Amino acid sequence: MAKKKTKTSASSKPKLKAPSFKLSNQQKLVLGSFLVILGLLLFIAFVSFIFTGKADQSTLSEFMSRDAKPENWLNKTGAWISDFFIQRGFGVASFIFSGLVFLSGVYVLTNSSLIKLRKHWFWGTLIVIWFSILFGFFAENLDILGGTIGFEMNSYLQDYLGKIGTSLLLVFFLITYLAIRFKVTAETFKNIFHRASKDFKQEFKPSDEDISIPIDNDLSSEAEDIKSAFDLNVEIPPKKKEVVVQEEKPKPRPEVIIEEPEMTIEVEEVAEELSETDNLSNKLVEDYGQFDPTLELSNYKFPSLNLLKKYESESITINQEELEENKNRIVDTLNNYKIGIASIKATIGPTVTLYEIVPDAGIRISKIKNLEDDIALSLSALGIRIIAPIPGKGTIGIEVPNKNSTIVSMRSVIASQKFQKSEMYLPIALGKTISNETFVVDLAKMPHLLMAGATGQGKSVGLNAVLTSLLYKKHPAEVKFVLVDPKKVELTLFNKIERHYLAKLPDSEEAIITDNAKVINTLNSLCIEMDNRYEMLKNALCRNIAEYNVKFKARKLNPNDGHMFLPYIVLVVDEFADLIMTAGKEVETPIARLAQLARAIGIHLIIATQRPSVNVITGIIKANFPARIAFRVTSKIDSRTILDGSGADQLIGRGDLLFTQGNEMIRIQCAFVDTPEVEAITDFIGSQKAYPDAYLLPEYVGEESGTSLDVDINDRDILFRDAAEVIITAQQGSASLLQRKLKLGYNRAGRLIDQLEAAGIVGGFEGSKARQVLVPDLVALDQLLKNETN
Ligand SMILES: Nc1ncnc2c1ncn2[C@@H]1O[C@H](COP(=O)(O)OP(=O)(O)OP(=O)(O)O)[C@@H](O)[C@H]1O
């Protein structure tokens, strides 16, 4: 693209140069009026010259003398200029020059296109020359007609072509001029000739015309009279009358023919046919420009880099001694097992150094892989990982942690060109790879992310890095977060940007969900949002959110038909294990549904868990989360659950992670963003003008709230009695108590509470407070249930 641009501008330069001098409006007024007046003066002088030119001949030689009194209306100057133009120049054709000067003045005054003016001058000058030769041809004795130039050119042409040749040449120039200037063609001449001959014929047929009128209006009595008169006097067969009538009908035709000389057949490029909506949207875009989703918060300022901290230990220092020592140990250990090495190369990363080994020919790779523990022992270091072979390279990699690891600051990854120039939909600067390159991925392409790691290994920091990346790159109109934080403290800072970036259920007070029970509603609401968005995409004939938004911005989708700009939605769950434990299937189903279907409509899930065990990360979840991040985990089994392979158990913690998107595994040092930094960013954003409310998700009417209270005794849950006992013993009417004690999901516990309310065991719903228990003890319960059955 860029190349193209420079090319076109280069080629068009010489063309643009001529009219490109710029004058101020005042200068234009001065120059324009000067030219207009000059044109008029020239005209006056020329007219005067026709009458006074002869008389002034003698005074021209005394131009400098004040005594000389020429008769020209513009005195000496007039006499001299007209002599110059008419007598010695082009003859009377010079009048055209005065016209051209006048026209130039008008063009400058009216700020009209100078390119057009240039054309006038070009053709005007040619006409002057042509006329000058023509007049020179006809008026050899009257030299002011053709001027000296006309005369000279004429005699020159006649010397070579003779009179006939010269006159034919003049005719040829005239035809050329008409053809180029007025696009006249041979057809035009034919038409003119045709029309002229027709006019001529009609001139000689006056009676026909008279006849035709009464026949046309044959109903009028007058017509009848004339008709009968005609019938009597002249014998014209009725057929002929009809012919005349028919000829009469296309009467306006001659007018069409007159137009034809200027008509040429130009083959126009056929423009693509536009539908009505295309036309309308093009007009709207022309009038108002593309739809700008950021317009409502047009003054929104993205957080600056200064809000992020710089660390001293950021730059990687090469410790030559350490490198040499590690190399020797690796070589020695392998030699002990009779493994020869052809070459060894080191790449130093922020936390680990990769030693790439090319073993001697004939050495089995599995042999080296089995020595992992032995090499770790000899290097006396944690977190040794052997990659045998490194995909895409014919080498074996041994990753050895550095003695002094360097912090990868969020600032350095955000400031990197890779991130700043990324054209991704949801770019995430995750950290730096082993070769110290900033690692940026598109969440929209993942399309969902599973994050696991033992406690304290950097999960929360990782989540903050993801959220920070998006805050630095996406406008509040473009992305919304749904934050689920069962730990209650990890994501609270983001509360400040609720009205900018967060999405919530219409009836909820807090945007960040800390109560597991509410998660189910939110997830189901997201499913509704997903279905709605699919419907919108279907109506707009788009395959994904990106196409849809492009179409909406181009004003091709009517908001009155329910269309709107769709922001991406990122759902973040900080502790998934906790959620699965308390709500089980009720969360798993909507999560799986979202994970399976939501990619095209811009809903992306990030799920983090401390416990990557199989009952948390089930088959369904795993199958739908191809992108995974593993921080350090405690066992090989956990590593296998999260990565489908070992490796995560050999990481060194503190943000050291393995990232996979289904194929190769990349070791990355996660960018570090501290709580004060997140606070500064959210403060900065939160202090700016916001939307009136958080982005509202569709309302979800849960099963529990739809249950009618007059539950049939026979329809009661089998755990009804147990639930009643739990509630009465604890004297606390809460669903979460039932969930805990009876190990139930939220929906079932909610349903039980409703049934208990219908039975009169607990009181009505009291907001955030637990319900009142209306039965004092188990004896009273027995009594109540017995009464029911009687
Ligand atoms: N990328 C990193 N670079 C440097 N240090 C880090 C990084 N990530 C985490 N740490 C260190 O590890 C500590 C724990 O990190 P974090 O709070 O993210 O762990 P976690 O996995 O979320 O733990 P939990 O599951 O208990 O909440 C941080 O306070 C920080 O000192």
Ligand 1 centroid from CA 459, angstroms? 6
Which atom from ligand 1 is nearest to the alpha carbon of 671?
1
Helix (H, G, I), strand (E, B) or coil at 159: helix
Ligand 1 centroid from CA 679, angstroms? 16
492 CB-side CA count, 13 A: 7
For residue 204, the model assigns a pLDDT of: 61
- Which residue's C-alpha comes closest to atom 4 of ligand 1? 654
Structure tokens at 430: 């995750």
Delimit the CATH 1.10.10.10 region(s) of the chain.
Answer: 703-789
Amino acid (one-letter) located at 467? L
* Least confident range of 201-215, 568-582, 674-688, 760-774: 201-215
Which atom from ligand 1 is nearest to the alpha carbon of 458?
18
Q: For residue 578, what is the enclosing H or E element?
A: helix 576-583
The three-state DSSP-derived secondary structure of 423-443 is CCCCEEEEEEECCCCEEEEEH
The CATH number corresponding to 410-688 among 3.40.50.300, 3.50.30.30, 3.40.50.1220, 3.40.50.280 equals 3.40.50.300
Average pLDDT estimate for 536-546: 91
157 CB-side CA count, 13 A: 20
Ligand 1 centroid from CA 437, angstroms? 21
Is there a contact between 55 and 115 (Cβ–Cβ < 8 Å)?
no
For residue 618, the model assigns a pLDDT of: 82
- Which residue's C-alpha comes closest to atom 23 of ligand 1? 456
For residue 279, the model assigns a pLDDT of: 67
Distance CA(444)–CA(604), nearest Å, equals 7
Average pLDDT estimate for 469-493: 90
Per-residue pLDDT reduced to its tens digit, 611-633:
888 888 888 888 888 999 999 99
Strand-pairing partners, residue 502, are: 481
Per-residue pLDDT reduced to its tens digit, 113-166:
777 888 888 888 888 888 888 887 776 666 677 788 888 888 888 888 888 888
- Which residue's C-alpha comes closest to atom 24 of ligand 1? 455
For residue 14, the model assigns a pLDDT of: 42
The reply to whether 454 sits in an annotated binding site is: yes
The reply to whether 669 sits in an annotated binding site is: no
For residue 482, the model assigns a pLDDT of: 93
Distance CA(621)–CA(577), nearest Å, equals 12
For residue 790, the model assigns a pLDDT of: 67
Burial class (CB in 10 A: 0-12, 13-18, 19+), 111: exposed
Which atom from ligand 1 is nearest to the alpha carbon of 461?
18
Is there a contact between 657 and 631 (Cβ–Cβ < 8 Å)?
yes
Average pLDDT estimate for 73-92: 84
Is there a contact between 566 and 548 (Cβ–Cβ < 8 Å)?
yes
pTM: 0.58
Instruction: Assess if CATH 3.40.1050.10 describes domain 703-789.
Output: no
Which atom from ligand 1 is nearest to the alpha carbon of 669?
1
- Which residue's C-alpha comes closest to atom 16 of ligand 1? 458
Distance CA(144)–CA(477), nearest Å, equals 78
pLDDT band at 415 (very low <50, low <70, confident <90, very high): very high
Average pLDDT estimate for 282-287: 73
Structure tokens at 404: 């002094």
SS3 content of the chain, % helix, strand, coil (to 5): 55, 10, 30
Distance CA(607)–CA(625), nearest Å, equals 9
For residue 453, the model assigns a pLDDT of: 92
- Which residue's C-alpha comes closest to atom 25 of ligand 1? 455
Delimit the CATH 3.40.50.300 region(s) of the chain.
Answer: 410-688
- What CATH number should be reported for the domain whose range is 316-401? 3.30.980.40
Ligand 1 centroid from CA 321, angstroms? 30
Choosing from 308, 309, 457, 633 the residue with most ligand 1 atoms within 8 A of its CB, the one to mutate for a pocket test is 457
Average pLDDT estimate for 518-531: 89
Distance CA(108)–CA(94), nearest Å, equals 22
Checking phi first, is residue 555 left (phi over 0); if not, alpha (psi -120 to 50) or beta? left
Per-residue pLDDT reduced to its tens digit, 182-193:
777 777 777 777
Ligand 1 centroid from CA 456, angstroms? 5
The reply to whether 366 sits in an annotated binding site is: no
- Name residues contacting ligand 1 (CB within 6 A): 407, 453, 455-461, 610, 654-655, 670, 672
Ligand 1 centroid from CA 460, angstroms? 6
Distance CA(221)–CA(611), nearest Å, equals 109
Q: What are phi and psi of 115, to 5 degrees?
A: -65, -40
Q: Is the pLDDT of residue 760 over 50?
A: yes
Is there a contact between 94 and 45 (Cβ–Cβ < 8 Å)?
no
Distance CA(102)–CA(477), nearest Å, equals 58
Delimit the CATH 3.30.980.40 region(s) of the chain.
Answer: 316-401
Choosing from 413, 428, 461 the residue with most ligand 1 atoms within 8 A of its CB, the one to mutate for a pocket test is 461
Check if the interface score ipTM surpasses 0.85.
yes
Which atom from ligand 1 is nearest to the alpha carbon of 465?
1
Listed residue (239, 216, 217, 214) closest to 226, CA to CA: 214
pLDDT exceeding 90 applies to what percent of the chain?
22
Average pLDDT estimate for 745-749: 78
For residue 469, the model assigns a pLDDT of: 94
Ligand 1 centroid from CA 500, angstroms? 27
Q: Is the pLDDT of residue 215 over 50?
A: no
Ligand 1 centroid from CA 452, angstroms? 12
Ligand 1 centroid from CA 491, angstroms? 14
Distance CA(657)–CA(171), nearest Å, equals 89
pLDDT exceeding 70 applies to what percent of the chain?
83
Strand-pairing partners, residue 553, are: none
The reply to whether 456 sits in an annotated binding site is: yes
Which atom from ligand 1 is nearest to the alpha carbon of 631?
21
The reply to whether 585 sits in an annotated binding site is: no
pLDDT band at 208 (very low <50, low <70, confident <90, very high): very low
